[in-house]
Amino acid sequence: MHRTFFKFAALVIAAAAAGTAAAGQLATVTLDAKAIAAGGIRTAVLQQVKRAPQVSAYGLVLDPGPLITLSAQIAAARSTFAAAQATTALARSEAARAADLYRSQHNISQAAFQAAQSRLQVAEANQANAQVQLTELDARARTDWGAKLATAASSGAAPLPQLGSGAQQLVEVSLPLGQSLPAVSTDPAASTPDGKHVTLHLVSRAPRAAAGVAGPSLYYLMSAQDSAPIGTPLTVALSGSGAVAGVLVPPSAVVWHDGTALVYRQTGAASFAPVAVPASSRDEGGYFVAVGDGTALQAGQRIVVAGAALLFAASESPPPAAKAKSAKAENDDDN
């Protein structure tokens, strides 16, 4: 089997079209019927589909620690405030009783009356201080995390328990500078740098732009099954309003060259040209390429859906004519 594969690979390279590609480019490949059949190269017609317009955004898996810590601080401040309220209520009752005893019945001394009043003043000051601390923490939660996550931090409600247990992760998604936020995508498609697809669920808009990014931001949750290490960057496709016509390229048709996704479009009976595909356009069904003036891929065209890797190998290799010319030039130099 391995011998057959290498034999076919050599056949494909030998059948490459005349002419070499410039630096950073790939050549159009022309094969004979024998090479196409031996390599199992199959093509399919691109069908027109419609998608909501996509906006490419930057995602980042956040450390939930600061939010969880803030929630604990709010809980502690609320307990302190509740204790201060109880102390104040008791001190107020004692001060009232002391005042009644001192002014009406004179059953306590002036010093005892004044001490009760002093304890009330201290208790009220402590309560006011606890109230300020709690208000400050609540305000910080809103300004740092937005109203929805601030409410969760204040009450300990979802998603705080899930973030604390690792059942969910928090993701911040930011748009590039100058890009307006489309209709908010509730469940946008996203992928990690290694190509793993993850699903995000909207929490709320972020109250401030992410560090180093000036565009608006959104908070999303990512389930544990799609988990990624804290700090992992994500590529996120946010959906806008309306619909855009385009074609859907199946993943089996894509090969990679220098970080660029490529497909091979059939340009003749046995000719195939490499065409770049935006990797950020990938979703569950494949790569969506919007159709417009000058777009290399159009509905009705045929692309290679099996055997693209062998065409890619042929694209990178100079054809026999080019090799012969190069060898002749070397021989001439030797003379």
> What distance, in Å, lies between the first and last C-alpha atoms of the chain?
44
Classify residue 54 by burial, with Cβ atoms within 10 Å: 0-12, 13-18, 19+.
buried
Collapsing DSSP states into helix, strand and coil, what is residue 30? Answer: strand
Q: For residue 8, is pLDDT > 50?
A: no
Q: For residue 318, is pLDDT > 60?
A: no
End-of-domain residue from the set 239, 255, 290: 239
Q: For residue 9, is pLDDT > 70?
A: no
Please check whether residues 74 and 122 belong to one and the same domain.
yes
Query: What CATH number is associated with residue 172?
Result: 2.40.30.170
Please check whether residues 129 and 102 belong to one and the same domain.
yes
Phi-psi category of 217—alpha, beta or left, where left has phi over 0 and alpha has psi -120 to 50?
Answer: beta
- Lowest-pLDDT range, 57-61, 114-118, 211-215, 219-223? 211-215
Please check whether residues 172 and 233 belong to one and the same domain.
yes
Please check whether residues 215 and 248 belong to one and the same domain.
no
Q: Read off the pLDDT of each residue in 3-24 and give the average, rounded to a whole number.
A: 34
Q: For residue 19, is pLDDT > 70?
A: no
Q: Domain tally for the chain?
A: 3
**Structural domain boundaries enclosing 29:** 2-52+244-334
Q: Read off the pLDDT of each residue in 243-254 and give the average, rounded to a whole number.
A: 89
Query: What CATH number is associated with residue 314?
Result: 2.40.420.20
End-of-domain residue from the set 110, 129, 162: 162
- Lowest-pLDDT range, 97-101, 295-299, 318-322? 318-322
Closest CA to 318 of 8, 7, 4, 22: 22
Task: Kindly tell me the sign of the dihedral angle through the C-alpha atoms of 6, 8, 12, 13.
Answer: positive
Of 49 and 242, more confident: 49
Please check whether residues 24 and 84 belong to one and the same domain.
no
Q: For residue 330, is pLDDT > 60?
A: no
Closest CA to 202 of 162, 149, 245: 149
Please check whether residues 81 and 9 belong to one and the same domain.
no
End-of-domain residue from the set 125, 141, 162: 162
Please check whether residues 190 and 272 belong to one and the same domain.
no
**23-77 pLDDT tens trace:** 236 788 888 888 888 889 999 999 998 887 777 889 999 999 999 999 999 999 9
Please check whether residues 307 and 325 belong to one and the same domain.
yes
Of 333 and 83, more confident: 83
Q: For residue 135, is pLDDT > 50?
A: yes
Q: For residue 103, is pLDDT > 80?
A: yes
Of 77 and 331, more confident: 77
Can you give the pLDDT at residue 214?
Answer: 67
Q: Read off the pLDDT of each residue in 186-197 and give the average, rounded to a whole number.
A: 86
Please check whether residues 129 and 148 belong to one and the same domain.
yes
Please check whether residues 127 and 70 belong to one and the same domain.
yes
Q: Are strands 189-191 and 48-51 parallel, antiparallel or unpaired?
A: unpaired
